């Protein structure tokens, strides 16, 4: 839990100067952190789960003005993470006709290795069933079609050969995105540098 919080704090600080300053203040002076007392849950109201934290209503910017907290799709946050860490979009969007198969293979290897590391950290992907490809197993009577997909017609018995063990995400910890509403569709910022004066 501590590692996940540290990763979220890292990405929050990276993407927002106000949040970076707030995190720095808490680290320098832990007494600055004030946690609200837990409010009692009435019998008629549902309790919130551990991952259902209520989003803040507003974000305070350096100038002092309050702006509505912008939210964006988790799919865009994932795409931005894969571009930032593995340059996935650069590889996909590059016109590959001008490169040889060997050059594409080298670039793809580097990109895929970095994508694997990012996905492992964010999702901890594991096989959906504990059986290797080619092994024969008996499906439980309550086998879910979400976990088991028959290729071809199911046989009369529940004996099955594993073609692919599938994948299951053991966690989902996407980077926290901060920004204004008009920036929520930006997947990767434009990179610029000082122009050379002639």
pLDDT value at residue 179: 86
**Cβ-based burial of 80 (10 A; exposed 0-12, middle 13-18, buried ≥19):** buried
Percent of the chain as helix, strand, coil, to the nearest 5:
40, 10, 55
| Model pLDDT for residues 130-150, shown as the tens digit of each residue | 999 999 999 888 889 999 999
Angle at 103 between CA 99 and CA 104, to 5 degrees: 80
Residues of the chain with pLDDT under 70: 1-70
Structure tokens at 57: 């209503």
Name 168's bridge partners.
Answer: 126
- State pTM to two decimals: 0.59
In this structure, the chain runs to a length of 198
pLDDT value at residue 39: 40
| Model pLDDT for residues 142-177, shown as the tens digit of each residue | 889 999 999 988 777 888 999 999 999 999 999 988
pLDDT value at residue 88: 97
pLDDT value at residue 67: 42
pLDDT value at residue 86: 96
Residue 81: how many CB atoms within 10 A of its CB?
21
């Amino acid at each position: 839990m501590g590692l996940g919080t540290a990763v979220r704090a890292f990405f929050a600080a990276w993407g927002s100067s106000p949040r970076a300053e707030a995190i720095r203040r808490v680290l320098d002076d832990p007494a600055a952190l004030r946690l609200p007392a837990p409010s009692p849950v009435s019998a008629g109201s549902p309790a919130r789960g551990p991952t259902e934290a209520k989003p803040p209503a507003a974000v305070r910017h350096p100038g002092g003005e309050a702006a509505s907290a912008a939210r964006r799709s988790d799919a865009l946050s994932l795409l931005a993470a894969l571009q930032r860490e593995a340059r996935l979009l650069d590889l996909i969007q590059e016109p590959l006709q001008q490169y040889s198969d060997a050059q594409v293979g080298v670039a793809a290897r580097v990109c895929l290795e970095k994508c694997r590391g990012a996905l492992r950290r964010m999702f901890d992907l594991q096989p959906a069933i504990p059986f290797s490809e080619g092994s024969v197993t008996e499906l439980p009577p309550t086998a879910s079609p979400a976990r088991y997909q028959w290729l071809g017609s199911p046989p009369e018995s529940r004996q099955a050969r594993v073609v692919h063990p599938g994948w299951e995400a053991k966690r989902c910890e996407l980077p926290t995105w901060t920004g204004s509403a008009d920036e929520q569709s930006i997947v990767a910022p434009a990179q610029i540098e000082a122009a050379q004066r002639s």
